[in-house]
């Protein structure tokens, strides 16, 4: 039986305006000379439930922009994105946090932004704190946290959101050595379950091991889409 489609991108493009210099007062009232850069151009992708999809390509090919567009962090300039189920992104792990709020307050704030109810957050609260290993700092404001502590807290809240579609990037293993091991084990556990995984990585051994489908992006367009042999196509072109 064919698995249902849980994510569909139709003619998705993303445009950025590159400002090389600060405009003068006169230039603000004349036609702009800013450069237009299309980070994504005409992307059409359908992803089925349970697929493990790796996205590869050179730096600047549009990989992270694609993930951020799927996650809703940035909106496409043209095209549509349709999804079924909860999407949780393990990119921009600090997004949704507020430095002046305590760790406790940020857990509730970030959890609700990820679609968790207050009751669910209260139920998983101790587990979230324990996983992030920040118990002694939980009542302190976030501006007192180190960068690694913020990442651990963001990762912990995200994985407790129990996503249907999980988005990963190069920073999927965060924090110190021990926490990186723990976060990778958690990622592998999601992969073993019937979760839809989309991962951006240059770590080809990880992609060969965990992904059944590879999408190769080049200059913002889909260059190739197929099984893991696409990795070899990419490596030969590098």
Quickly list DSSP for 203-217.
Answer: -HHHHHHH-SEEEEE
Which of 140, 162, 184 finishes a domain?
Answer: 162
191 and 230 housed in the same domain: yes
| Cα–Cα distance, 99 to 117 (Å, whole number) | 22
Please report whether residue 104 resides in a domain: yes
The tens digit of pLDDT for each residue in 124-164 reads 999 999 999 999 999 999 999 998 899 889 989 988 998 89
70 and 9 housed in the same domain: yes
> Token match 């957050």: residue?
121
104 and 143 housed in the same domain: yes
| Cα–Cα distance, 176 to 170 (Å, whole number) | 15
Q: What is the CA angle 53-58-63, rounded to 5?
A: 45
Where residue 222 sits, what CATH number does that domain have? 3.40.50.300
25 and 125 housed in the same domain: no
Which of 111, 131, 162 finishes a domain?
Answer: 162
| Cα–Cα distance, 206 to 229 (Å, whole number) | 14
141 and 186 housed in the same domain: no
pLDDT above 60 (res 32): no
pLDDT for the residue numbered 177: 77
67 and 180 housed in the same domain: yes
129 with 102: CB under 8 angstroms?
Answer: no
Q: What is the CA angle 160-95-126, rounded to 5?
A: 30
pLDDT band of residue 226 (cuts 50, 70, 90) is very high
pLDDT for the residue numbered 75: 94
Mean pLDDT for the chain?
88
Beta partners for residue 167, in sequence order: 89, 198
User: What total of structural domains would you count in the chain?
Assistant: 2
What are the structure tokens assigned to 191, written together? 């992969």
Domain membership of residue 171 as a residue range: 5-85+164-237
pLDDT for the residue numbered 171: 61
Eight-state DSSP code of residue 228: T
184 with 191: CB under 8 angstroms?
Answer: no
Could you tell me what percent of the chain has a pLDDT over 90?
59
The tens digit of pLDDT for each residue in 155-198 reads 899 889 988 999 988 666 556 778 878 887 887 888 788 889 99
């Amino acid at each position: 039986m064919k698995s249902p489609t849980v994510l569909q991108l139709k003619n998705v493009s993303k445009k950025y305006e590159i400002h090389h210099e600060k405009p003068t007062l006169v230039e603000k009232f004349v036609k702009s000379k800013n450069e237009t850069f299309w980070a994504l151009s005409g992307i059409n992708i359908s992803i089925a439930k349970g697929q493990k999809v790796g996205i590869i390509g050179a730096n600047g090919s549009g990989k992270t922009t694609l993930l951020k567009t799927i996650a809703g962090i940035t909106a496409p300039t043209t095209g549509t994105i349709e999804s079924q189920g909860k999407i949780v992104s393990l990119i921009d792990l600090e997004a949704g946090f507020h430095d002046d709020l305590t760790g406790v307050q940020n857990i509730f704030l970030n959890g609700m932004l990820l679609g968790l109810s207050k009751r669910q957050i209260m139920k998983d609260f101790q587990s979230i704190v324990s996983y992030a290993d920040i118990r002694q700092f939980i009542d302190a404001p976030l501006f007192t946290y180190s960068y690694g502590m913020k990442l651990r807290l963001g990762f912990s809240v995200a994985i407790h959101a129990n996503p249907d579609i999980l988005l990963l990037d190069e920073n999927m293993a965060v924090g110190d050595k021990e926490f990186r091991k723990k976060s990778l084990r958690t990622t592998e556990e999601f992969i073993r379950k019937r979760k839809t995984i989309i991962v951006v990585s240059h770590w080809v051994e990880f992609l060969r091991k965990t992904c059944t489908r590879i999408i190769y992006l080049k200059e913002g367009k889909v260059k190739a889409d197929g099984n893991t042999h696409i990795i070899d196509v990419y490596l030969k072109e590098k």
